[in-house]
Amino acid sequence: MQQQGGGQPAITILRATRDHLNDLVPLFEGYRAFYGHAPAPERAAEFLAERLATGDTVIFLATVQQPGAQVVPAGFTHLFPSFTTGGMRRIWILNDLFVAPNARRYGVGRRLLEQARDFGRETGAARLTLETQVTNHAAQALYESLGWVRDTQFYMYTLAV
């Protein structure tokens, strides 16, 4: 996407439904490719369709439109529910955040993060959490500019099953 007339494109954030599946799959596959996964668009469509049908996660879709141009999918964020035992409240795990390369530097990622924050507040969540690659400095700078704080008290462990 190229800027026309030097203006910023109009960004719209909406909660995705099954009607947005065709817009989400290429973005989801872009996210997976960024993290080194082989393409699997059919499986991605099935996975996303199930999430949207069951409502067990929340996906926000960003679109952009330049003046006089068509609306195009630009990015998404995917929130997974969890809970804090100590706080006895919901937590939202911001599991995925992706902005298409041709839509970067317009504020799409910032708007998606703001939408996630607002959604967390609306649902009474205690907090949102996320993790990112140690080398993803651009994302880290964006998160920190919006008030996200890097955890210095806990280590994260995983166990493949």
Residue ranges and CATH numbers for the domains of the chain are 10-145 (3.40.630.30)
Q: In Å, how far from its chain's centre is CA 40?
A: 19
> pLDDT digit of tens for each residue in the chain (161 aa)?
444 445 789 999 999 999 999 999 999 999 999 999 999 999 999 999 999 999 999 999 999 998 888 999 999 999 999 999 999 999 999 999 999 999 999 999 999 999 999 999 999 999 999 999 999 999 999 999 999 999 999 999 999 99
Q: Tell me the torsion sign for CA atoms 140, 15, 108, 145.
A: negative
Q: How far apart are CA 119 and CA 69, in angstroms?
A: 29
Interhelix angle 137-145/108-122, rounded to 10 degrees, is 50
Q: In 35-157, which ranges are continuous DSSP H helix?
A: 41-54, 108-122, 137-145
Report the alpha-carbon angle 34-18-97, nearest 5.
25
Place of tokens 């999918």: 73
Q: What is the pLDDT of residues 131-160, one digit of tens each?
A: 999 999 999 999 999 999 999 999 999 999
CA gap 74, 65 in Å, rounded: 9
d(CA 25, CA 2): 22
Q: What is the mean pLDDT of the chain?
A: 94
